[in-house]
A = this chain, B = another copy of it.
Amino acid sequence: MRIIVTGANGFVGRLLVGRLARQGHEIVAIDHLIEADCGIEAIAGSIADPVILARAFAGGCDAVVHLATVPGGAAEADSASARRINIDATIALSEAAAEAGRRPRFILASSIAVFGANLPATVDDDTPLRPLLVYGAHKAMIEQWLATLSRRDALDALSLRLPGIVARPAGPSGMKSAFMSDVFHALRADAPFTSPVAADATMWLMSVDTVVAALVHALTLDLALPADRAVTLPALRLRMDELVTTISRRTGIDPARVRYAPDPDLQAAFGAYPALVTARGDALGFHHDGSVDRLVASALATITSQDSVK
């Protein structure tokens, strides 16, 4: 398959592109900064640039994995810029894909941010989308757009609602949820860490390896897709102290390096996730990490391999 990947130089994108290339797919990798790699066509630029889109789709399109986005914190800071990427450029990308391919599969990295806050005791496939963040609203809007194009047989879209992904590389990410990854980096480096959510905060998490597996699976999934073309990915629901204890055990670092100073806004937005039932995602063959131990092992292994690349 000829697969166009946006945000290809992000931490999920790099792993995904590598895996797809090894599977023998023809990959067109777009990102602001990206270097050509064996067998991968790299295009450096913005998806908001029509010239970049024209180049990417010139050779046709069997599938798109759309990872590029202006995430939560950055979108709050500049809603208009976020809209140009998350809405305008995404719509242009979807239309370019529809034109270049024959009803190509289009995978959107959507987000659990579509659900908003003040969630019911259990979130399932019938929970209404009531985003609070600009980012979550953008994702919900684009889910609707891609479902419409799918009903029109222009695309064959599937929006995957990603939970918190660990562990992102250290450093600024524009993500308000960065603390979920930063705690890994701190406990590996034996550095003190202040958690902005309480010890009993609950989060939905997935390792980057498992999210890459989900994206690969979504590309070739051959079952009937739901009418709204959206699936909430299965995720482990973990307490913050459970995450800390498990990372500590694996790294041999004292969990007392972590102190808790909950920020009310972050606690409400990222530390109050209720039970999650993902019947649709399960039936479509998506999986979470299995256990907190496996999730932590997988996340730590990713950090190690990122370090070795540097």
Write the nearest CB–CB distance from A164 to chain B, whole angstroms.
21
B141 and A145 contact, CB distance less than 8 A: yes
Chain B contacts of A246 at CB under 8 A? none
Residue from B87, B136, B144, B152 within 8 A of A148 (CB atoms):
B136
Contacts of A91 in B (CB 8 A): 83, 87
Q: How many angstroms between the C-alpha atoms of A141 and B86 in the bound complex?
A: 13
| Contact-residue size bin, chain A (C-beta under 8 Å from the other chain) | 20 to 34
Whether B141 pairs with A129 at a CB distance below 8 angstroms is no
Nearest chain B CB to A290 CB, angstrom units:
33
CB distance from A232 to the nearest CB of B (A): 16
Query: Which residues in B have their C-beta under 8 angstroms from that of A39?
Result: none
- A132 and B148 in contact (CB under 8 A), knowing A79-B95, A88-B83, A88-B88? yes
For the complex, give the distance between the alpha carbons of A147 and B131 in Å: 9
Dominant secondary structure at the A interface: helix
Whole-angstrom distance from the CB of A18 to the nearest CB of chain B? 34
Is B116 touching A131 in the complex (CB atoms < 8 A)?
A: no
Can you name the residue of chain B whose Cβ is closest to the Cβ of A137?
B148
A206 to chain B, nearest CB (A): 25
- Which residues from 90 to 107 on chain A have a C-beta closer than 8 Å to any C-beta of chain B? 91-92, 95
Q: A205-240, CB under 8 A of B: which get 1 and which 0?
A: 000000000000000000000011000000000000
B128 touches A151 (CB 8 A): no
Distance from A114 Cβ to chain B, minimum over Cβ atoms (Å): 9
Q: Does A178 count as interface, using CB distance less than 8 angstroms?
A: no
Q: Which of A87, A141, A142, A228 has most chain B Cβ within 10 Å? A: A141
Q: Which residues on B sit within 8 Å (CB–CB) of A79?
A: 95
Q: Give the CA-CA distance A150 to B148 in the complex, in Å.
A: 25
A136 to B151, CA, bound (A): 12
A130 close to chain B: CB less than 8 A: yes
Smallest CB separation, A61 vs chain B (Å): 18
List chain B residues, Cβ under 8 A from A137: 144-145, 148
Please name all residues of chain B whose beta carbon is closer than 8 Å to the beta carbon of A142 when the two chains form the complex. Answer: 141
Question: A139-186: which residues lie under 8 A (CB-CB) from chain B?
Answer: 140-142, 144-145, 147-148, 151-152
